[in-house]
Amino acid sequence: MNLSVQVSYKKQFMLGIIGIVILLSAVEAIANVWWITQIHCEFEQNEIFQDISEEKKRQLCLDFYELKTTGDVLIPSQSLDSITINSLGFRGSEFSEITPSNTYRVFMVGGSTMFGAGATSDESTIPGYLQQFLNEIDFGFNLEVINAGIQGADSNTEYNLMEQKLITFYPDLVIVYDGWNDLRANNSPNKLKENWEVMCKFGKENNFDIIIALQPIAGFGNKVLTNQEAEYVQNGMDYKKNPLIESFSTYQNYAKSLQEIKTCVKTIDLRGVFDTEVQPIYWDEAHVSDKGNSIVAESLNTAIFPIVSKNYELDTFEHEKNVERTSSLIYDGREITVSVELLPSNELENKKLQIITHDNTSAEVIQNVTYFLSISKDNENLLREYFFAEDGILIMDIQPNNDPLIKVIGEKQYDNNAYVMSGSKYSSEMSGENLTSVTPLQIIGPIFDTEGTYTFDIELRTIDSRNNWVFSLSGFHSQVTIGKDVILEDSIVKNQSSSQTEDLLRKIFSYYKTPILLTEIFKW
C-alpha cells in the first residue's frame, strides 16, 4: 500500500514538471509572436520594396532586429536569413586574419548605411557591390572588400574601431563613409574634420591609405524626391528629436571641411550621387535600396581604381614590370628595406635564415635593430617574437620537427626583452664589427617541417640605437616556399637567385602602438 502511494506521488510530480515545461514553452512562443508583431521597420511599407513579398520584407526586418551586438562590436558567428556575421565579427563571408599573398585588402567603415540595413543580402550592400565591381577588373592580384560597418557608428566610433581592431587585419585601404550619424549626433564641422584628420594621420603612420566619403541624405542633394522620400525629409530627426533638415547648413559645412582635408589619399563628396535618379532610392532619410547601394559602390569603384592600380604598380607588384629594386619604407628621409636570405647549409634538415636591415640611401646595414618577427603558414601563426641584432644582422638556425610547441634557444637582451644571438654581449661602446664568435639563434619546431609557403611579417621596433623606438616601420613581408627545392619567393622582384630573397613587401601593421602596451611587452 505504501509503495503504491509512493509511485503515485512520483507520477504526479513528473506530470507536474512536464506540465510546467509545456506551459513555459507556450508562454515563450506567445511572447515571440507578440514581439514579432511589435517590430516595425520603415522599409516594410516603402515603395522601393513593392516587388518583394510580404514574407521576405518581414524576414528582412526580423534579421536586422535580431542582430546581436556588444557595445560597438557585432557578436561573431551569426547566421540569419539575409545577414551573415562571420567568425571575426564582420558582415559577409569568412576571411583570414593574415592577409593572403598577392592580395589587396579594403575595409569599408561606416554606420548602418554602410552595414547595409535593409539590403536584401550580404552581396547587395555597398561593400558587396564594390567587391563585385572590382572582381570584373583583372588587376593581376586579388582584392578583398570587407564590410566593417556597424549600426549607429559615427566618426568617433569609426576611429576607435580602426585603431583597436581593423589594424590587426592588415588593411591596405580603408574607406570611411560618414555624415548622417555625425549630423544626428550634432557633431560640429570642426569636430568631424578633426576626427577625419586623425584617421588619415593614423593611416599614414601605419602605411595604409584612407578615403573619406561624405554620404548622401534625402533632401541634402538635388535628387527629385518622390512623395514618400519628401516625407522622410520632413520627418527625419536628430538624436535630440530636432528636425534633421534644420541642419542643412551644417552638412554643407561638413562638405567644406571635407575639401580642406589634405592628409588623406582622397576625399569624395557623394551628396549628389543620386541627383539623376527619378525612381525611389531612400527608405528613410539615409538608408537606401539595393539599387542605391549599387550606385554608391560604382562611384567608389571609379574613385579607388587609380589608387589601387598605382599602389600596386609602385609598391607591391613591381615584378610585373621587371623593376629590379626592393620595396621600402621611408624613415627620417632614408629608404629602409629588410631582406631575408637562406644561407648555404651542409645539414640535410636544418635551415639557416638571415635577416638584414639596409639603409638604401647610404648603402649601409642599419645597427641596433629590434625585429618583431611573425612566421605563419596557411594563415596559422607559428611564431611571434622579438629579436635584437646590434649589427642589424639576425641569423637563425631553424631545426624543423612536428612538435607543436616552438622553442627559441638564445639569450634575452635586457633592454628590450628580445632574443639575441648567443655570445653577443652588447654594450653601448660596442659596434657591429666588434662582434665575434656569435652563435645563431636556434628555433626548434614546425617551421619548414612540411612543404608549403611560410610567410614572414617583419616590423622594426628600434633602429640606430637600442633606445630609438619607432612604430612606422611595419609592413615588411616575404614568403619562403619549401618544396623539393627551397625557394624564397618575393612578391616584388622578378628573376632573383634561388639562394637569395629580395624584398619584403607589403603593408602589414603594428600590433603594439602605445607606450602603455610597450610597458606590457617589454616589462619596463
Instruction: Enter the DSSP assignment of 469.
Output: B
Cell digits for 465?
Answer: 640605437
Specify the residue for cell string 506530470: 15
Q: What average pLDDT does the segment 315-324 reach?
A: 33
pLDDT tens profile 99-111: 888 899 999 999 9
Where do the domains of the chain lie? 42-316, 328-522
Report the distance separating Cα 183 and Cα 200, nearest Å.
Answer: 20
Measured CA to CA, the distance from residue 378 to residue 201 in angstroms comes to 32
Strand partners, 458: 373, 476
Which range, 133-137, 312-316, 434-438, 518-522, has the best average confidence (pLDDT)? 133-137
- Coil/strand/helix, residue 312: helix
pLDDT band at 174 (very low <50, low <70, confident <90, very high): very high
CB of 50 closer than 8 Å to CB of 64: no
pLDDT tens, residue by residue, 70-99: 878 899 999 999 999 999 999 999 999 888
pLDDT tens figures, 244-291 = 999 999 999 999 999 999 889 899 999 999 999 999 999 999 999 999
Helix count and strand count (H, E) for the chain: 11, 23
d(CA 158, CA 164): 10
Over residues 449-463, the mean pLDDT reads 85
- Please give the CATH superfamily to which domain 42-316 belongs: SGNH hydrolase (3.40.50.1110)
CB 359 within 8 A of CB 423: no
Give, for 243, the enclosing helix (H) or strand (E): none
- Contact between 336 and 362 under an 8 Å Cβ cutoff? The reply is no
Instruction: Kindly state the average pLDDT of the residues 420-441.
Output: 51
**Residue 155: closest CA among 184, 175, 171, 176:** 176
* Pairs from 463-466 (Cβ < 8 Å, separation ≥ 24): 463/331, 463/336, 463/357, 463/366, 463/367, 463/368, 463/369, 464/366, 464/367, 464/368, 465/368, 466/368, 466/370, 466/388, 466/415, 466/416, 466/426
Asked if residues 399 and 407 have their Cβ atoms less than 8 Å apart, the reply is: no
Q: Tens digits of per-residue pLDDT, 400-410?
A: 888 878 888 88
Are the C-beta atoms of residues 390 and 346 closer than 8 Å to each other? no
**What gap in Å lies between CA 1 and CA 331, rounded to an integer?**
94
Ranges 112-116, 267-271, 393-397: which has the least confidence: 393-397
Whole-angstrom distance, CA of residue 141 vs CA of residue 131: 13
Could you give the CA distance from residue 425 to residue 30 in angstroms, rounded to a whole number?
74
